[in-house]
Amino acid sequence: MEVTDLAAQVRKEHKKGPARRLRQKGLVPAVFYGRSAGNILLTVKSDELIKLHKNKKDHAFIKLIIDDGGDKKMEKLSLIKELQVRPLTGKLYHADFYEVDEKRKITMDVSLRFVGKAVGVENGGELQHIKREVKVSCLPLNLPDHIDVDVTNLGIGDSLKIRDLKIDEGITVLDRPDTAVAAVAVVRVAKVEEAAKEEAAVEEGAAAAEGETAAAAPADKDKEKGK
């Protein structure tokens, strides 16, 4: 289990005015939700949090080094629960951390990573990603960054379900076993047929136009003779 340290400072005020002044100084108001010590109001440096969030995996464990102004600093293992970002500026607005107990199971959404090329795709089908993530329960030490889904053997009309996934020991997937995560559907044939119909319609229109031109030609010649 990879853990990254992040320095945090206890804050006393939680109103909008002080929070706005903190953001102007490059700090982000945050809250630590804990079982052992209760909720703690914090501030963390915006640039450090941005760097940590960009460089780490989705489920990065963070050891908060909390300075409460005393002689000793608290250390709390946590995960980012939520990062609020301003839509227009993209700047961090607020962060929520929640405490992680290494001996207690946690429930998290884990992304699916599709690998391989389905044989059904080579035969004219199209791979459909029905689910992008699954919900799992496990100890923090066993939490995977992602779960690989090998679609190589999927033929046209085939599907992979939750029960077909290879899950490491100690991890329980909470989604229903019969839930499909990927499938290969027949779509290219329909596209070819549609393209053929369009091509036939164009040819038919062109033939009709030539017929009209041919029919108009004798009349034009008669006019010239009359002159």
Please report, for the chain, the start and end positions of each structural domain, with discontinuous segments joined by +. Answer: 3-99, 106-188
pLDDT at residue 127, as a whole number: 95
Task: With CA atoms as reference, report the closest residue to 100 among 209, 3, 211.
Answer: 3
pLDDT at residue 198, as a whole number: 66
pLDDT at residue 206, as a whole number: 55
pLDDT at residue 90, as a whole number: 80
The span from the CA of 163 to the CA of 144, in Å, is 17
Q: Give the Å distances, CA to CA, from 225 to 62, 206, 220.
A: 96, 30, 9
Q: Which fold has domain 3-99?
A: Ribosomal Protein L25; Chain P (2.40.240)
Give the position of tokens 């980012």.
Answer: 80
Q: Which CATH superfamily is domain 106-188 in?
A: Ribosomal protein L25, C-terminal domain (2.170.120.20)
The span from the CA of 50 to the CA of 77, in Å, is 18
The span from the CA of 206 to the CA of 222, in Å, is 26
Between strands 106-115 and 133-138, the pairing is antiparallel
Per-position DSSP letters for the chain, written without gaps between them: --EEEEEEEE-S--SHHHHHHHHHTTEEEEEEE-SSS--EEEEEEHHHHHHHHHHS-TT-EEEEEEE-SSSSEEEEEEEEEEEEE-TTT--EEEEEEEE--TTS-EEEEEEEEEES--HHHHTTEEEEE--SEEEEEE-GGG--SEEEEE-TT--TT-EEEGGGS---TT-EE-S-TT-EEEEEEE-HHHHHHHHHHHHHHHHHHHHHHHHHHHHHHHHHHHHHHH-
- pLDDT per position in the chain (227 positions), as tens? 678 899 999 998 777 777 888 888 999 999 999 887 788 999 999 999 888 877 665 567 899 999 988 778 889 999 888 889 888 888 888 999 999 998 999 998 999 999 999 999 999 999 999 999 999 999 998 998 899 999 999 999 999 999 999 999 999 999 999 999 999 998 744 455 555 566 666 566 555 555 555 555 555 555 555 54
